[in-house]
Amino acid sequence: MRGFLPLGLAGVMLATAAQADLALTFPGPATETFAETEEFGSYKLPVGPYSDGFVQTLVAEGRQITRAWRIDVGVGTSLVVMDSLRQQLEATGFELLYECTTNVCGGFDFRFNTDVLPEPVMHVDLGDFRFLSAQRLGNAVPEYVSLFVSRGAESAFVQMVLLGSPDESSLTAKSGGKIAQINPIIPNVSFGSVTELLLRDGHVVLDDLQFETGSSALGEGKFLSLVDLSEYLKANPEIRIALVGHTDAEGSLQGNVNLSRKRAQSVATRLTKEFGIPSNQMEADGVGYLAPRANNLSDEGRTLNRRVEVIITSTQG
């Protein structure tokens, strides 16, 4: 099948139980959110970015261990966690096959063409994630591992998939101490990815928001993008923002403008009622399908176009 490179077994080599064990320590207090082991699994391991309609993978088979964690890393970025875990993998004999950051991976398309656990056990911020795949040869059965790291306002999220011998491969992980906080480059910035992108580009999409189809009601839950945004607005009361709703191209223009406006207004209402952001620090409107960021001819494109975006409009109170 196009995009998949079947994996043959490497030559049989001497193995030790110590080499097959994988023990990791996280750079911060960690809480396990998911754990599953299949005695024989088949996993499409990404070894390249999303390109020409698919993610290049190879098929790894063996005992499949899938785990996920939430890690308290304060204001650290996803890079802090990935760097630590990469160094530990390399120290235990793993060799990198592929590594990428958000845009290099392929952004939305890479995320939704890769096996990723659902919310809330694994959160992926489409503006800040990192991925790597690696292999370790030398056992009777080669081992393969993938790491998906993303972050929210105060936590990092890690998904790991390990494949190897049913008799030899194992995975243990433990919390580390809270890492030293990283000094912000820009004063008064909370370094969640929403704030970083907002300050860098002047606008950012709140990709984790959820609305029912055709509804303007914002779903329940404390969305991490709103946590991040509210912290920045509280720390910088002179900043004014606009919340702009967008839709796909299904239906009439006026109907979509009305729906997109109501969705933006529901986000503003949540920021005021739940997070205490003054209403005069925000405005909310909608433009329907007039500003797409993807083609409306595919399901993936329409999904990308249904969004609420934040724009900095003024630095004067």
Both tokens assigned to 249: 């191209």
Q: Is the pLDDT of residue 17 over 60?
A: no
**Mean pLDDT across the chain, nearest whole number?**
81
Q: Is the pLDDT of residue 184 over 80?
A: no
Instruction: Tell me which CATH code domain 193-314 carries.
Output: 3.30.1330.60
At 219-235, the pLDDT tens digits run 887 788 898 899 899 98
How far is the C-alpha of 275 from the C-alpha of 37, rounded, in Å?
39
Tokens 């030559």 locate to 11
Across the beta sheet with 307-314, the strand order is 203-205, 307-314, 240-246, 282-286
Q: Is the pLDDT of residue 25 over 80?
A: yes
Ranges of each domain in the chain? 4-174, 193-314
How far is the C-alpha of 255 from the C-alpha of 261, rounded, in Å?
10
Nearest to 10, CA basis, from 66, 67, 58, 64: 58
Q: What is the pTM of this model?
A: 0.54
DSSP β-bridge partners for residue 267: none
At 299-311, the pLDDT tens digits run 878 888 889 999 9
> For residue 224, what pLDDT is reported?
85
Q: What is the dihedral of CA 270, 228, 111, 143, to 10 degrees?
A: -130
Confidence band for 168, pLDDT divided at 50, 70 and 90: low
Nearest to 210, CA basis, from 100, 303, 77: 303
Could you tell me whether strands 4-6 and 307-314 are parallel, antiparallel, or unpaired per DSSP bridges? Answer: unpaired
At 31-70, the pLDDT tens digits run 899 999 999 999 999 999 999 999 999 999 999 999 999 8
